[in-house]
A and B are shown apart, each in its own frame.
Chain A
């Protein structure tokens, strides 16, 4: 019963979040602030994870493609498709659920327990919309950009690791990443990024907004937001893959 209550409460929360803003200019400024905060704040970790993911995928593929009948450029192709189809969108989604999601849940949760949300409500501000909408919109625009950066950095990381270890020559790798390229895979990856971004921010904001109590509950809300966002990302990953690629 509790899960049904939470699903209902989540959709009521979303209806409040996407109601007409009191003053569009203030919301616009908030979106710009969030783009700056979340974009710059997440770029570093995305770059680090992507370069290592690309490198590891390349080396593992090279180890498993020792058969002389399989051309070496297949290593580049495998690294490219792995990054585009799965790693850059899903793994980055899970990482951001942990980083940005927990941050949002604890930020809004702390605002709840320190009466900052009550202060907004008493002023006549729609607090759910004011706090969550700019974060959701910012992440929905940001995450596809981060995923594209991640694909580029991951594939580059693979090239460097492959060449440095001697697993694959740079010429073979570059030929492989150009071979049989399907632009639709990028559409698929970006679509996943948009949906994951919405899930991460809306679920985290919901958990933060519903906090009652003190610091312990803020911590719990932060943990819950990561767990539920991650599970939903995996479920949506399956559904979108089924819809787009089969």
Chain B
């Protein structure tokens, strides 16, 4: 479980996060949604320690992340898996080497055990015959799956996904969404997904947080979305004709 208390962050005097309070549940897929520039990415970067907050607390199962020293932070980071928007796979390494990398760095496994574990993770994301290919030789969807495989290699307690569906076709997006949800439930991970994709919201949103102008504007489940009486949320979620129709039919 990750708890965020009164998180504030400003850049050059401009407040980007204005006191966010939220709890991300264990074994659930927690979605952060909001318009571009609302502060979603800054929130994620604060949570994983790439940006230092000005004020507030981030608790990883009760451990106050912002007040830890570098050694203690490193320990928590080893419990975090991250799937970046572009995959962030290492260009000069093959798929197998990418997935094996965290095992090389942080485990005392034998080479055989590491390859076995990496192969298990690769198969878990339904990738076959791609072990010896480089990131430039595989499609965007496959890159995202390799990134997920790498993120779960060390059995993380927390999984962060920054727009995992960006640039993917709807069918591949659903595959990635389902994969994230399956892994979350299977390994009881606290998963936080930052997304714009309304299909994802409807597919995997166990808990949804809507960020608007740097503040938490709304919080609920995907079913609550249809009955929410929040103008900004409705303008964002039901912006397209398709989703407007879905909402009307839902009523």
Q: Give A residues with C-beta under 8 Å from B.
A: 22-23, 26, 110-111, 114-116, 118-119, 121-125
Contacts and interface: CB of A to CB of B under 8 A. Distances in A.
24 contacts: A22-B105, A22-B106, A23-B105, A26-B104, A26-B105, A111-B90, A111-B91, A114-B88, A115-B85, A116-B90, A116-B91, A119-B82, A119-B88, A121-B49, A121-B50, A121-B77, A122-B48, A123-B77, A123-B101, A123-B106, A124-B77, A124-B78, A124-B105, A124-B106
Interface of B: 48-50, 73-75, 77-78, 80, 82, 84-86, 88-91, 101-102, 104-106
Contacts, number: 52
Given A122-B50, A123-B78, A124-B74, A114 B86 contact: yes
A115 B77 contact: no
Given A26-B104, A123-B101, 8 more contacts: A23-B106, A115-B84, A115-B88, A116-B91, A121-B77, A122-B77, A124-B74, A124-B75
A119 B84 contact: yes
A24 B104 CA distance: 11
A115 B105 contact: no
B102 to A, nearest CB: 6
Contacts of A115: 84-86, 88
A119 to B, nearest CB: 4
B84 A118 contact: yes
From B75, B85, B101, residue with most partner A Cβ within 10 Å: B101
Nearest to A25: B104
Given A114-B86, A115-B86, A116-B88, A122 B80 contact: yes
A118 B77 contact: no
B88 A123 contact: no
A125 B150 CA distance: 14
A103 to B, nearest CB: 12
Given A121-B50, A122-B82, A23 B104 contact: yes
Contacts of B50: 118, 121-122
Closest 3 CB pairs of A and B: A124-B77, A115-B88, A119-B88
A116 B89 CA distance: 6
Contacts of B48: 122
Contacts of A111: 90-91
Q: For A111, A116, A122, which residue has the most chain B Cβ atoms within 10 angstroms?
A: A122
Nearest to A23: B105
Contacts of A121: 49-50, 77
B106 to A, nearest CB: 7
A59 to B, nearest CB: 43
A55 B212 CA distance: 70
B105 A125 contact: yes
A233 B74 CA distance: 37
Nearest to B77: A124
Contacts of B49: 121-122
Nearest to A126: B74
Given A116-B90, A116-B91, A118-B50, A123 B84 contact: no
A49 B201 CA distance: 61
Contacts of B78: 123-124
Contacts of A26: 104-105
Contacts of B89: 116
Contacts of A123: 77-78, 101-102, 105-106
Contacts of A110: 91
A114 to B, nearest CB: 6
Contacts of A116: 88-91
Q: Which of B50, B105, B106: most chain A CB closer than 10 A?
A: B105
Contacts of A118: 50, 82, 84, 88
